[in-house]
Structure 1
Amino acid sequence: MSDDDDTTPSAHHYGITVSDLDESLAFYRDVLGLDVISEFSVGGEAFAEGVGVDGASAEFAHLDAGGTRVELVSYDPEGADRRGGMVNDTGAIHLGLSVPDVEAFHESLSDDVETVADGPRTTASGTTILFVRDPDGTPVEILEA
């Protein structure tokens, strides 16, 4: 495939399945500061067939992460609970968000926001990182490149 080929994919969104859309939306909007683009529901036979889940319907929230769209989705019926994974687990996902000052971001967090370490760390590559967990335990990397 070449860059001018109509079949070459381009990024549209990064999706995260959540157990409680309202709780997760509050975290991504209020704690991480992402702007809500839209909220909507989808159901019906074509949707269920498209996602491969019998009788599926879902509620969605799209958020703007500085030009990257983050999609939060809550399914009915719910699938298996895969919380508590580590970033080095095969198939693990995480969302990476850049901030100008990770230390200031860390200091702004309320005590109920779970962090992986007790504060930011600067890696050998010179990148300062801090991993937080959303309400379902999904890791979100906050970084200062």
Structure 2
Amino acid sequence: MTRLAAHHFGVTVSDLDRAVDFYRDALGLGPCERFSVAGEAFADAVDVDGATGRFAHFDADGARIELVEYDPEGVEATGDAINQPGAKHLGLAVDDLDAFYADLDPTVSTLSEPRTTESGTRICFVRDPEGNLVEILEA
């Protein structure tokens, strides 16, 4: 069997510029590489007639975070609760969760203040401007 290796973690957004601002400014990710993809091969690959995509890639300490804005835009698939089947989230680690939380812009929506789970991991969840969940953890 062919060995698989992680390449990126993708999040579909409706407003790429706003999402880039959040992931860069509120979460401190960077650098950002931006590009567009179009054409019949792309539309066929994503199974969306006439699809084009605007992309932004961030480096998160060796993990690539991919934001993509599609045209045409599909129906929203974001669930409000993490426990809904099909829900997704990104997990990003920090050295000091309390310091990260204290520095977080007050306009950023959070699910709770930092908490310590029974496994000993400190976590909190924030929402990006699209409502996608991002787990910030101190392992």
**Structure 2 counterpart of 1:137:** 131
Q: Which is further off, 36-45 or 56-65?
A: 36-45
CA drift of 1:38 comes to: 1.2
SS at match of 1:10: coil
SS at match of 1:103: helix
Partner of 1:15: 10
Contact 2:31–2:58 under 8 Å retained in 1: yes
* Secondary structure, counterpart of 1:26 in structure 2: helix
Secondary structure at 1:75 match in 2:
strand
Task: After TM superposition, list the pairs within 5 Å mapping 1:72-111 onto structure 2.
Answer: 72-111=67-106
Q: Which residue of 1 aligns with 2:120?
A: 126
Task: Kindly report structure 1 stretches of 4+ aligned residues shifted beyond 4 Å.
Answer: none
C-alpha displacement of 1:36: 2.6
The 1:13–1:20 alpha-carbon spacing in structure 2 relative to 1, beyond 3 Å, is: same
CA RMSD of aligned residues (A): 0.9
Whether the 8 Å contact between 2:79 and 2:87 is mirrored in structure 1 is no
Does the CA-based 8 Å contact 2:110-2:127 persist in structure 1? yes
| In structure 2, C-alpha distance between the alignment counterparts of 1:36 and 1:51, rounded to whole Å | 26
Q: Give the superposition deviation at 1:84.
A: 4.3
Using the alignment, how far apart are the partners of 1:50 and 1:8 within structure 2? Answer: 22
Q: What percentage of aligned pairs have identical amino acids? A: 59
User: Helix, strand or coil: the match of 2:31?
Assistant: strand
TM superposition score normalised by structure 2: 0.97
Q: Could you tell me whether the CA contact under 8 Å between 2:78 and 2:87 is conserved in 1?
A: no
1:30 matched to 2:25? The reply is yes
* CA deviation map 1:1-41 (0-9, x unaligned): 3xxxxx22111000000010000000001111111341000
Which structure's residues are more often strand, by fraction?
2
